[in-house]
Amino acid sequence: MKYDFEPYVKPRKYQVVYFGHRFETKFGRPTLMLQFTIAELTEYENAILTKYFPIKRFNQKGGFSVTKKQQFAKFWLSVFPEHDCSRMDRFPLSKLKGLVLEAKVEAGTHDFEQKEIPKQLQVSKIVSLAPF
């Protein structure tokens, strides 16, 4: 089944596999977007879901850095507890390839004005990631 960039999937926990990443500036802030595909044999198999992490900065060569208080650093240590955090600009995202994680997925039901979004326009996002 083919999906849009941001599909709607039923809110629950899914097994996901790293698909890719990219950097964007969202609302004036640098953001790391980790993309995952659903690895379970469900009606949403191969749907691409995104987890957004605010970061300190990124460069044109694909490097980035975070602070010790940011969500990405905590996520990384939950998956790779042996990682040396002396350099906060050394996170080889290639280590995520082939790794199965558990993702809690929820749909955005309200917009920025707290008005309800119609079911047909809702998109799902990853709220939290944890080792499987």
CB atoms within 10 A of CB 92: 8
Task: List the domain boundaries for the chain.
Answer: 12-106
Tens digit of pLDDT for each residue in 59-102? Answer: 888 889 999 899 999 999 999 988 888 888 889 999 999 899 99
Tens digit of pLDDT for each residue in 105-116? Answer: 998 888 889 999
